[in-house]
Amino acid sequence: MTTTYTDFKQKHVIVTGAANGIGQAIALAFAEQNAVVGAWDIDEENLRRTCIDHDNLYPLVCDLSDPKQVASTHALAVAKHGEVSTLINNAGVDRRMSISEQSSQDWRWMLSVNLDHQAQLSALVAPAMKQHNTGAIINMSSTAWMKLAENLTAYHAAKAGVIGLTRGLASELGPYNIRVNAIAPGRVITERVANLVDEKWIEETKQLQCLKYLISPEDIAQTALWLASQSARSITGQTIIVDAGVT
Ligand SMILES: NC(=O)c1ccc[n+]([C@@H]2O[C@H](COP(=O)([O-])OP(=O)(O)OC[C@H]3O[C@@H](n4cnc5c(N)ncnc54)[C@H](O)[C@@H]3O)[C@@H](O)[C@H]2O)c1
pLDDT at 6: 93
pLDDT at 247: 75
Pocket mutation for ligand 1, best pick of 16, 22, 145 (most atoms within 8 Å of C-beta): 22
Residue 23: pLDDT above 90? yes
Confidence of residue 69 (pLDDT cuts 50, 70, 90): very high
Query: Could you tell me the maximum CA-CA distance found in the chain, to the nearest angstrom?
Result: 52
Nearest CA to ligand 1 atom 2: 188
Other Cβ atoms closer than 10 A to 60: 20
Domain extent listing, the chain: 12-189+217-241
CA–centroid distance, 22 to ligand 1, in Å, is: 7
How many angstroms separate the CA atoms of 20 and 192, rounded? 8
How many angstroms separate the CA atoms of 22 and 18, rounded? 8
Nearest CA to ligand 1 atom 42: 92
Pocket mutation for ligand 1, best pick of 63, 110, 163, 188 (most atoms within 8 Å of C-beta): 188
Residue 1: pLDDT above 80? no
What average pLDDT does range 18-40 have in this prediction?
A: 98
* 59 in contact with ligand 1, CB cutoff 6 A: no
CA–centroid distance, 150 to ligand 1, in Å, is: 18
What rounded mean pLDDT belongs to the chain?
97
Shortest-distance atom of ligand 1 to CA 187: 3
Active centre residues (catalytic): 155
- Amino acid identity, position 135: G
Please, which residues have CB within 8 angstroms of residue 19's CB and are 6 or more apart in sequence?
Answer: 39, 41, 42, 43, 44, 45, 46, 47, 49, 50
The CATH homologous superfamily for domain 12-189+217-241 is: NAD(P)-binding Rossmann-like Domain (3.40.50.720)
Provide φ and ψ at 244, rounded to 5°. 60, 25
CA–centroid distance, 182 to ligand 1, in Å, is: 15
Closest listed residue to residue 110, CA positions, set 160, 56, 39: 160
CB 35 within 8 Å of CB 13? yes
Q: Render pLDDT for 227-240 as a digit per residue (tens, 0 to 9).
A: 999 999 999 999 99
What average pLDDT does range 63-87 have in this prediction?
A: 98
Residue 54: pLDDT above 90? yes
Distances (CA, A) of 150 to 38, 99, 204: 34, 11, 16
CA–centroid distance, 131 to ligand 1, in Å, is: 31
CA–centroid distance, 175 to ligand 1, in Å, is: 31
Shortest-distance atom of ligand 1 to CA 19: 39
pLDDT at 116: 98
pLDDT-above-90 percentage for the chain: 97
pLDDT at 190: 97
How many angstroms separate the CA atoms of 83 and 80, rounded? 9
State the number of CA atoms in the 13 A half-sphere of 137 facing the CB.
35
0.95 exceeded by pTM? yes
* 50 in contact with ligand 1, CB cutoff 6 A: no
Confidence of residue 2 (pLDDT cuts 50, 70, 90): confident
**3-class SS letters over 156-204:** HHHHHHHHHHHHHHHHHHHHHCEEEEEEEECCECCHHHHHHCCHHHHHH
Residue 243: pLDDT above 90? yes
Instruction: Write down how long the chain is.
Output: 247
Shortest-distance atom of ligand 1 to CA 143: 6
How many angstroms separate the CA atoms of 141 and 89, rounded? 9
* 197 in contact with ligand 1, CB cutoff 6 A: no
Dihedral, 147, 150, 154, 155 alpha carbons, nearest 10: -50
CB 84 within 8 Å of CB 76? no
Confidence of residue 181 (pLDDT cuts 50, 70, 90): very high
What average pLDDT does range 212-241 have in this prediction?
A: 98
Dihedral, 22, 28, 29, 35 alpha carbons, nearest 10: 130
Q: Render pLDDT for 130-174 as a digit per residue (tens, 0 to 9).
A: 999 999 999 999 999 999 889 999 999 999 999 999 999 999 999
